[in-house]
A and B are shown apart, each in its own frame.
Chain A
Amino acid sequence: MCIRDRYQRRVHGDLRNLMGFKRFVQAGRVAYINYGVDHGKVCVIVEVINSTRVLVDGPTLGVPRQVISLRRLALTDHLLKVAKGIHTKALEIVIKKEDLVKKIGESSWAKKLASQKRRAELNDFERFQVMMLKRQKAYLVNKDVAQSHGKKPKKESAKKAQQAKMDNNRIKHHFTLKSHQKKKKKKKKKY
């Protein structure tokens, strides 16, 4: 690269960065495999083979060194400083040093995945509990919103208080049709 090119690059930056891209397919990029046998796992791009395929490795992450299509990858923000074609053992050292597993676990994306997984694992009763809690939350939120909008806070009616109590009880005990019907009636009388 001549001096002029180097100056240009320093002043104007790389075209790719000019476009505002943040995540690139490059050696050291941490990626999430979203299709295939290893889906759900995280790996590191070791070397770019061509525009469609990539050599990938994940020593402590449960991914064997393999060629994978870029269609099967989702890039993350994490980038390790490794030379292209790094060996598995050397990569393992880097991953441990950077504490990659911890960093990934702390990312919001990983937390979302974990909550999705938990949601899929819920049993019927747990789903009911979730519904109850959501309703409670919604009530509190709506109350707060109404207050912030300047509406006069309605006096906590005895019925409302009782309803809240019943909701709490339901979380402990099983839901019955009768109590549901009662509640429906009460709901209609609200406004």
Chain B
Amino acid sequence: FFFLMIRRPPRSTQGVSSAASDVYKRQVSTQSTWDFQWCQRRSMGKESKSQFSLKKVKQYILVGRAKPVAGQKEEPKVYRMRVFAPNTVIAKSKFWTLMRKQKKIKHTGGELIAIHEVIENPSKSVKVYGIVLRYQSRTGYHNMYKEYRDTNICGAMSQMYMDMAGRHRAREETIHIVRTCVVPESKIKRAETKSFTNGNVKFPLLNRISRPPIKKFKAFARAKRPTLFLQQNNSDS
């Protein structure tokens, strides 16, 4: 989560850094302008219907501040935060949790100025997203850097949550996202991600099963035994 003043955030990475940490300092490329005009609701249309979906996590921008107190000389500072959450309710909750922890502004003593969902353009190209996160395990807190291939940041986030749950039994509530970035090919750290970014990647599909084309056609009682082998002309034999 970035806590920045509303005036002007930095538009470029700060100075020279080593290859490893450069990735961590990189700004998210999707946030090219800190303007509310790019937080526009676009019609998802066909894209959302046919989209193969994991747990849907959305990106929100929340802006809030402490309530102005009578007699206070200065206007309270406004803070903007980028939150990944499945809905606005959880997004707001996360916002106030961190406002409380980092800025000492409670929900009761503060006001939410704006909440916008950030909708990225539909899938056009595959990118590698690097996510730095901090999560709580049963014995302590750990930092992690993970890479995921996806077409948008929310997809990568969904992958991350699933991955963390599967590998580390870390639930969504215990994961805090520190930083996200789009990683260029030269800076990819993980071998698996690297192997898939190779343009010549190819593999056959094995262990195929046939299933009815629509869920509606799935029969629960059948007259015949199921066919276990799908006749596919994939090998020379």
Contact = CB atoms under 8 A, between A and B. Distances in A.
A and B held together in a complex = yes
Interface of A: 16, 19-27, 34-40, 47-51, 53, 55, 64-70, 72-75, 77, 83-85, 87
Report which residue of B124, B204, B233, B237 has the largest number of chain A beta carbons within 10 angstroms of its beta carbon.
Answer: B204
B151 A21 contact: no
B205 A75 contact: yes
Interface in B176-234: 192, 196, 199-205, 208, 211, 213-214, 232-234
B149 to A, nearest CB: 5
A55 B196 CA distance: 12
B99 to A, nearest CB: 35
B213 A40 contact: yes
A74 B52 contact: no
Report which residue of B47, B150, B201 has the largest number of chain A beta carbons within 10 angstroms of its beta carbon.
Answer: B201
Contacts of B204: 16, 19, 21, 23-25
A74 B232 contact: yes
A12 to B, nearest CB: 16
B203 A23 contact: no
A38 B192 CA distance: 30
A28 to B, nearest CB: 10
A23 B234 CA distance: 6
A27 B196 contact: no
28 contacts: A16-B202, A16-B203, A16-B204, A21-B234, A22-B233, A22-B234, A23-B232, A24-B204, A25-B205, A26-B200, A27-B199, A34-B213, A36-B50, A37-B49, A39-B213, A39-B214, A47-B125, A50-B149, A55-B125, A55-B126, A64-B46, A66-B51, A67-B123, A67-B155, A68-B52, A69-B52, A84-B199, A85-B126
Interface in B40-63: 46-47, 49-52
A70 B196 CA distance: 15
Interface in B133-151: 149-151
A65 B124 contact: yes
A24 to B, nearest CB: 4
Which range contains the number of B residues in contact with the other chain? 20 to 34
A35 B213 contact: yes
Contact of A26 (B52, B123, B202): B202
Contacts of B31: none
Given A20-B236, A21-B234, A38-B50, A65 B122 contact: yes
B49 to A, nearest CB: 6
B50 A25 contact: no
Nearest to A83: B199
A84 B201 CA distance: 10
Nearest to A40: B213
A53 B123 contact: no
Interface string B88-103: 0000000000000000
Nearest to B235: A20
The 4 closest A-B pairs by CB, nearest first: A26-B202, A24-B202, A20-B236, A21-B204
A31 to B, nearest CB: 9
Report which residue of A51, A66, A83, A87 has the largest number of chain B beta carbons within 10 angstroms of its beta carbon.
Answer: A66
Given A16-B204, A24-B204, A53 B199 contact: no
Nearest to A52: B52
Report which residue of B124, B125, B196, B202 has the largest number of chain A beta carbons within 10 angstroms of its beta carbon.
Answer: B202
